[in-house]
Amino acid sequence: MKRRIDYTLYLCTDRSLMSTDTLEEAVEQAVKGGCTLVQLREKDCSSLDFYHTALRIKKITDRYKIPLMINDRADIALAVGADGVHAGQSDLPCTVLRAMLGDDKVIGISASTVEEAVQAQRDGADYLGVGAMFPTGTKSDAEQVSMETLKAVRGAVSIPIVAIGGIGPQNAAQFCGTGIDGLAVISAILSKPDITAAARELRAAFHP
């Protein structure tokens, strides 16, 4: 049975940005600060390392009863029993991921236009990651999405929407009242000396 997910504060990992010695520490501190969902994103490691990392992170998310998503890799998600997969526009199509993962897994798709969003919903996506909303150092080639486009996407689809890209305490409140379901954050949490406090501040700034 597919898990119900609270998208309010969605942590995406990036070990190059974290202030802690280990990814496990960073994730646990973020969850303690109020992150409601974790996506494990590993672009520069072997499949075996990704698998072992995912197992370690899943122990933490299970302990706190927080869902775990895997970026891009359906095989890793299935191998560790994660809740689902998040895929970009250049990754495997949503329809293919659904065939691989079955109906009980959650699939998120990145979208930067209304057309991409509508197609993702049509293909069976469970939620959308819309962005980049602001300039972001984690994805320098990301196309920037205006607030008007975000609102147009919200009006065009019925599935949950998470905004991503350059979001921090200085702009999180701009998303209140837009009808979106959550904020996805990387550096505004992971790079801070006090990760728990950074997550708590962001969660307080955003009220879906």
Query: d(Cα 78, Cα 12) in Å, to the nearest integer?
Result: 19
110 is catalytic: yes
92-113: b (≥16 Cβ within 10 Å) or e: eebeebbeebeeebbbbbbbbb
Residue of 41, 58, 105, 200 marked catalytic: 41
> Which of 98, 110, 154, 192 is the catalytic position?
110
**CA atoms of 194 and 141, how far apart (whole Å):** 29
Nearest Cα to Cα of residue 66 among 30, 104, 95: 30
| Active-site position among 32, 56, 139, 191 | 139
Closest Cα to residue 95, out of 72, 74, 120? 120
Active-site positions read 41, 110, 139
